[in-house]
Amino acid sequence: MGAPRTTDPRPPFAGLNGHTPEELFGSLPTPCYILDEAALRRNGELLADVAKRTGCKILLAQKAFSNYELYPVLAPYLAGTEASGLYEARLGAEEMPGGEVHVFCGAYRDEEFAELLRYADHIVFNSPRQLERFGPAAKQAGKSVGLRVNPERSTQEGHAIYDPCAPGSRMGTTRAQWDEKMTPELLSLLDGLHFHTLCEQDSDALEVTLDAAAERFGDVLPRMKWLNMGGGHHITKPGYDVVRLERCIRRAQQAWDIQVYLEPGEACALNAGYLAARVLDVFRNGEIRLAILDASAACHMPDVLEMPYRPPLYGAEDRDELPSHGAGTPDNPPHVFRLGGPTCLAGDVIGDYAFPAPLREGELLLFGDMAIYTTCKNNTFNGMPLPSIYVLREDGRLDCLRRFGYEDFRGRLGGK
């Protein structure tokens, strides 16, 4: 019996269980992140169901979520971690003990590679030259060796910065590069192939990628032990086509007799965190009503500017997604505010949101889906303080994982 088309129709604020943000988080200093333990576990359960039904192995991509004190919540449901370099590899090995550690890096450093071999189980190279330089040492150390390939079939629109299949991409080995550089000696080092082409996409995009991989590397895959299909699979998003995903996994298994790996980051922690902020100032510039928050898009939610991405906001609607008549009625129009941070960057804007009532100074706002690409990616531009990190436990308790202060800002800039 196949998996349902819809996995778990939980909105970003389901973890509040009917309470308002002020009721749950009003006593916390802002800005702050709140990680939702129950939501993390639910994501883990959904991923484990896919692994159980198909026999694939699913890894946590730490580049999206690396709050290691919550790894014990996810560990029972995953095969291990994926890392982008030495530090993440060490973190995965130390904080999810017993799990596999897979590493991919665009290029490895001579002075780090020996230490990396202490932590990694799978090491994936980006080019035949990197395979030539480091592959023999990895093989001699008993590691499973892979090469990232580029299927050259883009499935993304509007996210060019995250498109590994864009023309001129530095990510992965194309078939032309393979034919030019690969030798029998290098091929003998390989245990598997890796591709990563997706970004917050459904399994129809994976199916397109798999077709391209079969077209370009179908003669090589039967010689491999495993195929890693990378990340970007939005498996835990409501409405994700799990049936098609599992069909893709089984297709690869049956065609090439290989172990399939997936390494999602977002799917592990999707809708499993919040960012609480308060309104510092409200004013108008012409027709635009503005609100300055104590949270910054540039510093505390950088994907808002890089993707670009508009996070969900409790009790409000994204103005760009509203119908032409807005969220209200002719007699009661929505109150639209442009939300921005306190930094000097003119573009430090989170977006335009429609509210049922005008915003006031001191009001608490709660952004959703803030567990991913936030705590692991934020910064202290302008001397902005890093938000504290809290955990909403499954029993309703709030625990503080980490508070930050001046020394955290100062310490990364010098050693005195």
Mean pLDDT on 267-275: 97
| CA dist., res. 144 & res. 198, Å (int) | 24
What does the mean pLDDT of the chain come to? 93
Cβ–Cβ < 8 Å for 86, 112: yes
DSSP state of 329: B
262: β partners:
58
Angle at alpha carbon of residue 35, lines to 43 and 6, rounded to 5°: 25
Range with the poorest average pLDDT among 3-7, 211-215, 365-369: 3-7
**DSSP reduced 3-state for 266:** helix
Output the pLDDT for position 1. 31
pLDDT at 330 over 80: no
| CA dist., res. 398 & res. 276, Å (int) | 14
Output the pLDDT for position 3. 36
DSSP string, 267-327: HHHTT-EEEEEEEEEEEEETTEEEEEESS-HHHH-THHHHTT----BTT-EEGGGS-TT-S
Q: Which residue has the higher pLDDT, 104 or 1?
A: 104
DSSP state of 2: P
Mean pLDDT on 265-290: 97
pLDDT at 94 over 50: yes
As a residue count, the chain comes to: 416
Output the pLDDT for position 309. 85
Torsion of CA 319, 325, 327, 329, to 10 degrees: 150
- Among residues of the chain, what percentage have pLDDT more than 70? 94
Output the pLDDT for position 9. 46
**DSSP reduced 3-state for 195:** coil
| CA dist., res. 146 & res. 306, Å (int) | 30
Of residues 198, 148, 152, 145, the one with CA closest to residue 172 = 148
DSSP string, 37-72: HHHHHHHHHHHHHHHHHH--EEEEETTT---GGGHH
Q: What is the pLDDT of residues 228-238, one digit of tens each?
A: 999 999 999 99
Mean pLDDT on 303-326: 79
Cβ–Cβ < 8 Å for 409, 380: yes
Q: Which residue has the higher pLDDT, 123 or 166?
A: 123
**DSSP reduced 3-state for 362:** coil
Mean pLDDT on 1-13: 51
Place of tokens 């029972």: 76
Q: Using 50, 70 and 90 to split pLDDT, how confident is the model at 157?
A: confident
DSSP string, 102-139: EEE-SS--HHHHHHHHHH-SEEEESSHHHHHHHHHHHH
**DSSP reduced 3-state for 380:** coil
Terminal Cα distance for the chain, rounded? 63
Pairing state between β 273-285 and 288-293: antiparallel
Mean pLDDT on 155-175: 88
Range with the poorest average pLDDT among 180-184, 308-312, 327-331: 327-331
pLDDT at 320 over 80: no
Cβ–Cβ < 8 Å for 35, 66: no
The pTM assigned to this predicted structure is 0.93
Output the pLDDT for position 416. 78
Mean pLDDT on 82-111: 98
pLDDT at 59 over 70: yes
Of residues 66, 117, 76, 126, the one with CA closest to residue 99 = 76
Q: Which residue has the higher pLDDT, 334 or 197?
A: 197
Q: 149 vs 80, 113, 174, 262, 358, CA distance in Å?
A: 22, 21, 6, 15, 52
Output the pLDDT for position 156. 82
Q: Which residue has the higher pLDDT, 416 or 212?
A: 212
Q: What is the pLDDT of residues 343-399, one digit of tens each?
A: 999 999 999 999 999 999 999 999 999 999 999 999 999 999 999 999 999 999 999
Output the pLDDT for position 325. 40
Of residues 279, 189, 181, the one with CA closest to residue 225 = 189
pLDDT at 261 over 70: yes
Q: Using 50, 70 and 90 to split pLDDT, how confident is the model at 405?
A: very high
Output the pLDDT for position 374. 97
Output the pLDDT for position 234. 95
| CA dist., res. 138 & res. 116, Å (int) | 10
Q: Using 50, 70 and 90 to split pLDDT, how confident is the model at 333?
A: low
34: β partners:
274, 390
